[in-house]
Amino acid sequence: MLRYVYAHDLPRHPKLAQSMFQDRADQFKTRLGWDVDDAGEERDSYDALNPLYVIWENSNGTHGGSMRFLPSTGPIMVNDVFPQLTGNQPICSPLIWECTRFCLSRESSGNVAGALTLGGLEIMRNFNIAHFAGVFDRRMVRIYRSLGFSPEVVGTMGQGRDRICLGLWDYSLEAYQRVALRAGLTTELSTLWFDLSFGGIGMPGPVAMVG
């Protein structure tokens, strides 16, 4: 199932949180060779800003996959780390959130990537967010297409295998329904998972907290 958890609430889900950061270390450091902090659990400064995580929880309570979201009205990676992709014009809007740290466990089964994508759209739908912004490499283009949620590329940097892109994903009801279909999930189940995390009352805005 999908869980939506703000960073300040991760201690309430210790097994899920620990396995998420361990899987991030495994994916970004071990498999991809990124220059990131490790020590067995990968974290960065943006995890200290109380982001919202969408996490696939396996039946045994461990992490199957996750994404991290922060509103662009505060510090975000694209502005701080990749300003060339925006022409040094920072993204800052209550209608735009940044999505980072897309991670899948080695043991993930089924369409966890599709479920996470649907979770992102659930955030957009419930928080009235018009766009997600995110930096990705060219290998992800095919994956986004298969999930039914491709971005508009608004900036690029580098050449060949080192080329990275800044994308903007737009919310639409059609995209929400298409991603649910491709993920093999119903929109009713997706709504239920969101409501279970947020008490079934929705959230008034990106700065609101859970619990």
pLDDT of residue 108: 81
pLDDT of residue 140: 86
Q: Is the alpha carbon torsion for 175, 24, 199, 97 positive or negative?
A: negative
pLDDT of residue 41: 86
Name the E strands within 58-151: 63-71, 96-104, 131-137
pLDDT of residue 36: 66
Per-residue model confidence as pLDDT tens digits over 72-130: 999 999 999 999 999 999 999 999 999 999 999 988 877 999 999 999 999 999 999 99
pLDDT of residue 139: 80
Q: Residue 56: how many CB atoms within 10 A of its CB?
A: 26
pLDDT of residue 188: 96
Q: Which of 139, 141, 130, 133 shows the shortest CA–CA distance to 86?
A: 133
Q: State whether residue 14 is helix, strand or coil.
A: helix
pLDDT of residue 16: 97
Q: Whole-model pTM?
A: 0.90
Residues of the chain with pLDDT under 70: 35-38, 200-211
pLDDT of residue 107: 83
**Domain definitions of the chain by residue range:** 2-198
**2-198 CATH, one of 1.10.150.130, 3.40.630.30, 3.30.1490.20, 3.30.450.20:** 3.40.630.30
Task: List the structure tokens of 54.
Answer: 């969408």
pLDDT of residue 200: 62
pLDDT of residue 211: 24
pLDDT of residue 76: 98
pLDDT of residue 35: 67
Rounded to an integer, what distance in angstroms lies between the CA atom of residue 86 and that of residue 65?
28
pLDDT of residue 40: 82
